[in-house]
Amino acid sequence: MTYREFIKTAKISKEKLYREIYRANRDKIQVKKEATVVRNLGRIFDAALKISNEKGFQAMSMRDFSQETGLSLGALYTYFASKDELLEMILRQGRELVMRVLKTHLAAIRDPAARLETAIRLHLYLTEALQPWFYFSFMEAKSMNPVAKEKTIASELATDQLLAGILEEGQRMGVFKPRDTTLAAGVIKALLQDWYVKRWKFARRGIEVDRYADFVLAYVMSFHKANDGEAESK
Amino acid sequence: MTYREFIKTAKISKEKLYREIYRANRDKIQVKKEATVVRNLGRIFDAALKISNEKGFQAMSMRDFSQETGLSLGALYTYFASKDELLEMILRQGRELVMRVLKTHLAAIRDPAARLETAIRLHLYLTEALQPWFYFSFMEAKSMNPVAKEKTIASELATDQLLAGILEEGQRMGVFKPRDTTLAAGVIKALLQDWYVKRWKFARRGIEVDRYADFVLAYVMSFHKANDGEAESK
DNA sequence: GTCTATATACGGATAGAC
DNA sequence: GTCTATCCGTATATAGAC
């Protein structure tokens, strides 16, 4: 799988996404014309992620936000009841999309090495496609209310456990060497996170997501794969 | 080297540190009795890092801050002219300490494998000792003014280059396998950062810094070391 | 649906008493 | 040196016109 192929198959259509959000939040959104909601939700999410990723969600004033979206303060408050509710809408939207894509793509694969490769590529491609959201979720975790924070932490630990599970299975089957799976899963997670947290660094150096994915895979496999081919860890 | 040994030799004494800060900022600090300044700077730095690491520097109100330090608003403003100046004092203090320790310890070592090991251990031990500062510097980068941000980015890139330099030297000497040094340095950096960014995760799992250091070293060496001992990558 | 105008609270920072 | 009281700007959120 390459990034291009991923994008084609995953079909992360923004419009479909906003339509779903609208339907899930009919009660909270006062505006009733679906076409209007979909258009404005797009502006709202884009602006919130843009400004927040520059200076932080809570440093983003509603006046900044109003200007960036092109909507007045009054109009904005017909889409959410408070800044905190906006935060939760953004977080939930991303979380659910990520869960869905990960589950769909991993379900069919049984071979541990292939599962590990798919999990790593998938995560990198997903964060590439949704970089602003992942960065946002990562950076804003500490200013979240307890419930939102809990969910973000749970999602972090779930990724670790998914990876650790694949490693354990591989060790049982003898395709991976015996290694501490908890620490090893943490290492992989750190490398995956680096891709969206340090995007500016990779961009500056002209490194594309496929090249990074190949490198991380070689690195990880050289540590785990039972010796049937040093040649592969290029 | 272990963490205990590092702590003994590095002698990062808080009191000495605050005394230095006072001397470097005589012009900005209105209070003149050195003993008073040293005591209060201690409270100020501890409180600022504590609150900021819980909810962010700019979410920390001066009233929160006053309560945590036990000093009144008026008193606080005799130690710095503005919240932004406080931010810069904190950043500078840490930066200079880190630079000094890194240079001192690495200067004498020539062998690339030993240099790599020392750089990795040193960085981990340093971030362990100064975890609140590193976390602060990492998380607040985006809300810094342009000058402070520039310095933080430069320091990030300097670490990458230090590591890349060691890897290149090792490859020239034939002790490391040929690998992309820029990407590999980035990987190591990501693993070092994970230690202080995700402290809560490691603490929850009862993983100590020495164990993490051993693991990272094994991981990194298994990728780089020319084949004279698969046995070492335990 | 969207706007402008405004209520109300809280932010950083300073003046001046002790 | 440190305090309390206060200035003044800006924050979120809402009311009510169009």
| Closest to B40 (Cα-Cα) out of B7, B86, B95 | B86
Task: Report yes or no: B84 and B145 within 8 Å, Cβ to Cβ.
Answer: yes
Q: Give the gap in angstroms from C-alpha A207 to the nearest C-alpha of chain B.
A: 9
Rounded-to-integer distance, Cα B7 and Cα A170, Å: 39
A56 at the B interface (CB within 8 A)? yes
- Confidence (pLDDT) at A232: 42
| Closest to A142 (Cα-Cα) out of B79, B209, B51 | B51
User: What does the buried/exposed string (b/e) look like for B98-122 if buried means 16 or more CB atoms within 10 Å of the residue's CB?
Assistant: beebbeebeeeeeebbebbbbbbbb
pLDDT digits (tens, 9 = 90+) for B132-178: 999 999 999 998 999 999 999 999 999 999 999 999 999 999 999 99
Furthest C-alpha separation in chain A: 65
B155 at the A interface (CB within 8 A)? no
Rounded-to-integer distance, Cα A78 and Cα A56, Å: 23
Task: List bases in chain C with any atom under 7 Å of a protein Cβ.
Answer: 1-6, 10-16
Verify if strand C has an atom below 7 Å from the CB of B71. no
Rounded-to-integer distance, Cα A222 and Cα A228, Å: 11
Rounded-to-integer distance, Cα A106 and Cα A109, Å: 6
Q: Taking each helix axis as running N to C, give the angle between helix B209-224 and helix B181-197, from 0 to 180 degrees, rounded to the nearest 10.
A: 170
Q: Give the gap in angstroms from C-alpha B19 to the nearest C-alpha of chain A.
A: 32
B138 at the A interface (CB within 8 A)? no
Q: CA dist A198 to B164, B166, B187, Å?
A: 17, 22, 11
pLDDT digits (tens, 9 = 90+) for B4-24: 999 998 888 889 889 999 999
CA of A62 vs C1' of C4, distance in Å? 15
What is the mean pLDDT of the segment spanning B196-207?
Answer: 97
Q: Which residues touch strand D (CB under 7 A)?
A: A 58, 60-63, 73-74, 77, 81-84; B 30-33, 36, 40, 70-75, 78
Q: How far is CA A226 from the centre of its chain?
A: 30
Q: CA dist B214 to A161, A190, B201, Å?
A: 22, 17, 18
Total residue length of chain B: 234
Rounded-to-integer distance, Cα B157 and Cα B172, Å: 22
- Confidence (pLDDT) at A228: 63
B147 at the A interface (CB within 8 A)? no
Query: Which residues in A lie closer than 8 A to residue B58 (C-beta atoms)?
Result: 56, 58-59
Verify if strand C has an atom below 7 Å from the CB of B84. yes
User: What does the buried/exposed string (b/e) look like for A214-228 if buried means 16 or more CB atoms within 10 Å of the residue's CB?
Assistant: ebbbbbbbbbbbeee
Domains of chain A and any CATH numbers: 3-233 (1.10.357.10)
B204 at the A interface (CB within 8 A)? no
User: What does the buried/exposed string (b/e) look like for B25-45 if buried means 16 or more CB atoms within 10 Å of the residue's CB?
Assistant: beeebeeeeeeebbebbebbb
What is the mean pLDDT of the segment spanning B25-50?
Answer: 96
Q: Which residue is nearest to nucleotide D10 (CA to C1')?
A: A61
- Confidence (pLDDT) at B132: 97
What is the mean pLDDT of the segment spanning B174-196?
Answer: 98
Query: Which residues in A lie closer than 8 A to residue B160 (C-beta atoms)?
Result: 201
Q: Which residue is nearest to nucleotide D16 (CA to C1')?
A: A74
Q: How do the pLDDT tens digits run along chain A, 234 residues long?
A: 999 999 998 888 889 999 999 999 999 999 999 999 999 999 999 999 999 999 999 999 999 999 999 999 999 999 999 999 999 999 999 999 988 898 899 999 999 999 999 999 999 999 999 999 999 999 999 989 999 999 999 999 999 999 999 999 999 999 999 999 999 999 999 999 999 999 999 999 999 999 999 999 999 999 999 976 444 443
Residue with tokens 């006062």: A30
Residue with tokens 């298994």: B222
Rounded-to-integer distance, Cα A96 and Cα A108, Å: 20
pLDDT digits (tens, 9 = 90+) for B39-91: 999 999 999 999 999 999 999 999 999 999 999 999 999 999 999 999 999 99
Q: Give the gap in angstroms from C-alpha A29 to the nearest C-alpha of chain B.
A: 28
Task: Supply the mean pLDDT for chain B.
Answer: 94
Rounded-to-integer distance, Cα B234 and Cα B214, Å: 9
Q: How far is CA B14 from the centre of its chain?
A: 15
Rounded-to-integer distance, Cα A218 and Cα A213, Å: 9
Rounded-to-integer distance, Cα B103 and Cα B119, Å: 10
Q: How far is CA B49 from the centre of its chain?
A: 13
Query: Which residues in A lie closer than 8 A to residue B139 (C-beta atoms)?
Result: 139, 142
Total residue length of chain A: 234
pTM: 0.95
Confidence category of residue B232, pLDDT binned at 50, 70, 90: very low
Confidence category of residue B228, pLDDT binned at 50, 70, 90: low
